[in-house]
């Protein structure tokens, strides 16, 4: 299926509406924010390593982005590469970012999520309901790799790339979200299959992400030391089992260590939101 054009649909096939896509994206962001306890991240307990934000701010930010996600979906439904799809999506995303910053008093709550979830929303809009998770991720990757004339600002992710070589959210998207498709989503669904409640299933997915990605938020805030502490600490939790007493103690210890470094796995949190989004975009029976 060509993800960068509008395919002809059989009468029995349906598309997600732009409104439903936007609502699902906002729900994924809110569920990620509410998930507790997350190591050094904003949750129901407090601000984690982010002294400039709290849970109400994150929820307000997510709701503010609803209109942007709907515009992204509508744009993807009606446009193609010949009409500068990537340029148009970038314009919508930048406007959404400005609205987010206005709602948060200038705090960057969801800049990475705008890029990540925006691409997945566009891919969902361009496909009928038969699309698999793998097809949605591949389509999002093709959009991410389209050329753009937008100027590259020296963002946190860009500065981390220049210093450490970590490609961050942009690289994850251009590669087709391999850590979401092949790591986090299988972990989420495996936990459910084992009978874990939704909180533990989502924490399991988050910890798999922390253990496996070069989180640019950690690198920006705490350098290689913070990344090492996070990855090894997450592995300890996973080895013990997220639902066990030892696993919960290891999670608390990871939280303590990251707070001491004033570092948080914000990139992993964005990819968790992407995982929850894809989990709702395609049925669990589909292979990633």
Decide: 155 and 111 in contact? Cβ < 8 Å: yes
Asked whether residue 156 is assigned to any structural domain, the reply reads no
pTM over 0.85: yes
Cα angle at 223 between 218 and 225, to 5 degrees? 95
What is the 3-class SS of 93-124, one letter each residue?
HHHHHHHHHHHHCCCCCCHHHHHHHHHHHHHH
Q: What is the total count of domains within the chain?
A: 1
CATH of the domain at 213: 1.10.4200
The secondary structure element, H or E, covering residue 33 is helix 18-34
Task: State the pLDDT at residue 233.
Answer: 98
Scored b (16 or more CB within 10 A) or e, 215-227 reads bbbbbbbbeeebb
Domain extent at residue 40: 18-146+161-281
Residues of the chain under the 50 pLDDT cut: 1-13, 152, 154, 160-166, 286-288
Whether residue 106 is contained in a domain is answered as: yes
User: SS3 of 128, please?
Assistant: strand
- The whole-number pLDDT of residue 167 equals 56
**CA 1, CA 247: separation in Å to the nearest integer?**
43
1 in a domain, yes or no? no
Q: Is residue 79 part of a domain?
A: yes
Query: pLDDT tens digits for 225-256?
Result: 999 999 999 999 999 999 999 999 999 999 99
Q: With CA atoms as reference, report the closest residue to 199 among 24, 43, 8.
A: 43
Q: Which of 110, 113, 65 is nearest to 92 (CA)?
A: 65
Q: Is there a domain that residue 2 lies in?
A: no
Q: Is residue 267 part of a domain?
A: yes
**Residue 251, domain member (yes or no):** yes
Residue 154 lies in a domain: no
How far, in Å, CA of 161 to CA of 216, rounded? 8
Cα–Cα distance, 67 to 56 (Å, whole number): 19
């Amino acid at each position: 299926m060509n993800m960068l054009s509008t395919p002809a649909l059989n009468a029995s096939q349906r598309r997600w509406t732009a409104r439903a896509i936007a609502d699902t994206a906002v729900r994924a962001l809110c569920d990620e924010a509410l998930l507790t306890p997350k190591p050094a991240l904003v949750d129901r307990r407090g601000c984690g390593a982010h002294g400039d934000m709290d849970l109400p701010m994150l929820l307000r930010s997510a709701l503010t982005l609803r209109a942007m996600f709907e515009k992204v979906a509508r744009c993807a439904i009606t446009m193609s590469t010949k009409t500068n799809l990537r340029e148009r999506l970038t314009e919508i995303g930048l406007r959404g970012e400005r609205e987010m910053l206005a709602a948060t008093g200038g705090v960057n709550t969801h800049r990475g999520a705008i890029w990540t979830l925006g691409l997945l929303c566009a891919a969902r809009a361009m496909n009928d309901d038969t699309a698999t998770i793998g097809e949605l991720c591949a389509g999002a990757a093709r959009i991410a790799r389209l050329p753009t004339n937008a100027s590259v600002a020296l963002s946190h992710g860009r500065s981390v790339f220049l210093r450490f070589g970590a490609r961050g959210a942009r690289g994850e998207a251009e590669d087709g979200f391999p850590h979401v498709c092949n790591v986090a989503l299988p972990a989420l669904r495996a936990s459910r299959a084992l009978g874990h409640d939704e909180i533990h299933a989502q924490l399991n997915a988050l910890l798999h992400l922390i253990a496996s990605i070069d989180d640019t938020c950690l690198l920006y805030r705490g350098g290689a030391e913070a990344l090492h502490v996070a990855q090894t600490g997450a592995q300890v939790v996973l080895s013990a089992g997220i639902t066990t007493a030892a696993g919960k103690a290891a999670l608390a210890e990871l939280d303590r260590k990251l707070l001491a470094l004033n570092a948080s796995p914000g990139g992993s949190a964005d990819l968790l939101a992407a995982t929850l989004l894809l989990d709702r975009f395609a049925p669990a029976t589909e292979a990633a």
